[in-house]
Structure 1
Amino acid sequence: MNVMTIGFTKTNAENFFGRIKAAGVKKVIDVRLHNSSQLAGFAKADDLPFFLKELCGADYTHEPLLAPTEEIIAAFKKQKGDWNVFREAFLGLMAERKIESQFNAEMFDDACLLCSEDKPHHCHRTLVCDYLNGKWGGRLSVRHL
């Protein structure tokens, strides 16, 4: 199963939608806890499904089960970005939620996980892929756009 990830910050709409279209994304899975912030610009929930369908022929779904809680996010910010603390808390949350039972690998085929972070290195979208690959025997082939 080919799955991609993308962030929308530090890019413009042309670059963002161009990468999604060029990669052949069929569905964007929004893994943000909150997807309606005015700061999200072209990636706001009210506009994003329209842009994805019109510009890329892609569907859109919001999956907050694949997002950290407010508490985990707040603790991360208070720790001034201690990635290991955030990582362990979020991995524990996914295990508690049993997300591997809530979704199936086929849902992620030709899909793209969306978050705000421009780079995947310290973003929870990468942790989602790593966690699911651990539970699903490496069935997801992950590419960061």
Structure 2
Amino acid sequence: MLLTTIGFSKKSLRSFASSLQQHNVDRVIDTRLQNTSQLAGFAKKDDLEFILELLSIEYIHDLSLAPTETLLKAIKQKEISWGEFETIFTDLLQERKIETKMNELLGDRVPCFLCSEEKPHHCHRKLVVEYLREFDNRIEIVHL
């Protein structure tokens, strides 16, 4: 079972769409807390939804996969380390029991978990898919 992740920062719309198509993604799961900011460019909710519709890719925005506003602020303002963020966010995923939504989120699709960060190394989308893999060892993760 393939789970992909992608960040839209520093990507053109063309490279973003091409990456999704090359990996046969048919569902994008938006893990952002805020998805309507003008800074999001083509990844602003309404625009992204329209683009994905043209590509025959389903769009879902799931706030249970996003950090809280307080946690997001703390990491952005360097009030906590990445290690602390990982622990707190993973605990939040456990508390929210996101594993109970696996069938709903994944189904028989090739999903791609979306966030803004260019690379997955310090992004919560990586933590989400790694957490889900703990519940199904068939999951293979590819960061686009």
- 2:90 corresponds to which residue? 91
1:132 maps to a residue whose letter is L
**Separation in 1 of the partners of 2:68 and 2:106?**
25
- Give the conservation status (yes or no) of the 8 Å contact 2:8–2:117: yes
Unaligned runs of 5+ in 1: none
Shift of 1:108: 7.1
Call closer, same or farther: CA 1:108–1:9 in 2, change over 3 Å.
Answer: farther
Tell me what 2:119 maps to. Answer: 119
Q: Structure 2 length as normaliser, TM-score? A: 0.92
CA positional deviation for 1:109: 3.5
Mapping of residues 1-145 of structure 1, within 5 Å: 1-54=1-54, 56-79=55-78, 82-104=81-103, 106-107=106-107, 109-134=109-134, 136-145=135-144
Q: Is the 8 A contact 1:5 1:113 kept in 2?
A: yes
Structure 2 CA distance for aligned equivalents of residues 35 and 98 of structure 1: 23
Counterparts in 2 of 1:120 and 1:81: CA distance versus 1, 3 Å: farther
Q: How far apart, in 2, do the equivalents of 1:119 and 1:108 lie?
A: 26
**Partner amino acid for 2:142?**
R
For residues 108 and 119 of structure 1, do their structure 2 counterparts lie closer, same or farther at Cα, with a shift above 3 Å needed?
farther
Residues 19-60 of structure 1: per-residue CA shift (max 9 Å, x gap): 111111001000001111100000000111110121x22110
Structure 2's unaligned 5+ residue stretches are: none
Deviation, 1:11, is 1.0
TM-score normalised to structure 1 length: 0.92
SS in 2 for 1:46: helix
Distance change in 2, residues 1:121/1:87 (3 Å): same
Please give the alpha-carbon distance, in whole angstroms, between the structure 2 residues aligned to 1:71 and 1:108.
Answer: 34
Question: Which runs of at least 4 in structure 1 moved beyond 4 Å after TM superposition?
Answer: none
Greater CA drift, 69-78 or 36-45: 69-78
AA partner of residue 10 (structure 1): K
Fraction of identical pairs, as percent: 45
